[in-house]
């Protein structure tokens, strides 16, 4: 009698699994929609990118030299993973120490960001004895030193002198 009950229960369980599997085939999941669908993402610069930067500010903080460089992308496309390698030399011209600063992600055209480079302090370091090398994920960078960045508002005012007069009065 026990065998018959166990056999009946096993048959009933197997039948319910088959019915559930067949019923599940009728229902289809809604179609997946891409999260990037309809959006345009320009490809990053491949090869040489053009960057403007201001004079670096250099300060000693405890056992490190912190260099801050403000950069602006003047290329026509985003720059991926812009990096600055800052190498310090002694008076004899030998490499003393180095540091690296990176912007993770994309620096969009016209975007301005600050890169901070922390370099371990070594005796013999001075502001006149360092060089910065700009690179990005897909090539080299042509850096251009500028005194300051031109604001979009200032650029519009420079093109329209009448507007510049009204802006200055405010």
Domains of the chain: 49-158 (2.60.40.10)
Query: Residue 159 has which token pair?
Result: 């093109």
What is the rounded distance in angstroms from the CA atom of residue 116 to the CA atom of residue 162?
40
3-state SS of the chain?
A: CHHHHHHHHHHHHHHHHHHHHHHHHHCCCCCCCCCCCCCCCCCCCCCCEEEEECCCEEEEECCEEEEEEEEEECCCCCEECCEEEEEEECCCCCEEEEEEEECCCEECCCCEEEEEEEEECCCCCCCCCEEEEEEECCEEEEEEECCCCCCHHHHHHHHCHHHHHHHHHC
What is the rounded distance in angstroms from the CA atom of residue 158 to the CA atom of residue 114?
26
pTM above 0.75, yes or no: no
pLDDT tens digits, the chain, 170 residues: what are they?
Answer: 677 777 777 787 777 776 666 665 656 778 888 877 777 878 899 999 999 999 999 998 989 999 999 999 999 999 999 999 999 888 888 888 899 999 998 999 999 999 999 999 888 887 777 788 999 999 999 999 999 887 654 444 444 444 433 333 33
What is the rounded distance in angstroms from the CA atom of residue 96 to the CA atom of residue 86?
11
Q: Do 83 and 102 form a contact (C-beta atoms < 8 A)?
A: yes
**φ/ψ of residue 24, rounded to 5:** -70, -20
What is the rounded distance in angstroms from the CA atom of residue 113 to the CA atom of residue 37?
29
Burial category of 141 from C-beta neighbours within 10 Å (exposed 0-12, middle 13-18, buried 19 and up): buried
- CA angle at residue 8 from 4 to 9, to 5 degrees? 120
């Amino acid at each position: 009698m026990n065998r018959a009950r166990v056999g009946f229960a096993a048959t009933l369980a197997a039948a319910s699994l088959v019915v559930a599997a067949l019923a599940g085939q009728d229902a289809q999941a809604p179609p997946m929609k891409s999260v990037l669908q309809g959006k345009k993402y320009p490809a990053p610069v491949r090869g040489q990118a053009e960057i403007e930067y201001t004079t670096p500010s250099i300060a000693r903080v405890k056992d490190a030299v912190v260099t801050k460089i403000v950069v602006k992308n003047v290329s026509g496309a985003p720059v991926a993973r812009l990096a600055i390698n800052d190498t310090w030399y002694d008076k004899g011209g030998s490499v003393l120490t180095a540091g690296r600063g990176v912007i993770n992600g994309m620096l969009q055209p016209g975007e301005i960001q600050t890169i901070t480079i922390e370099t371990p302090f070594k005796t013999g370091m001075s502001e006149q004895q360092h060089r910065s090398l700009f690179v990005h994920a897909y090539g080299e960078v042509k850096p251009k030193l500028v005194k300051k960045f031109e604001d979009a508002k200032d650029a519009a005012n420079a093109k329209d002198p009448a507007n510049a007069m009204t802006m200055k009065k405010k």
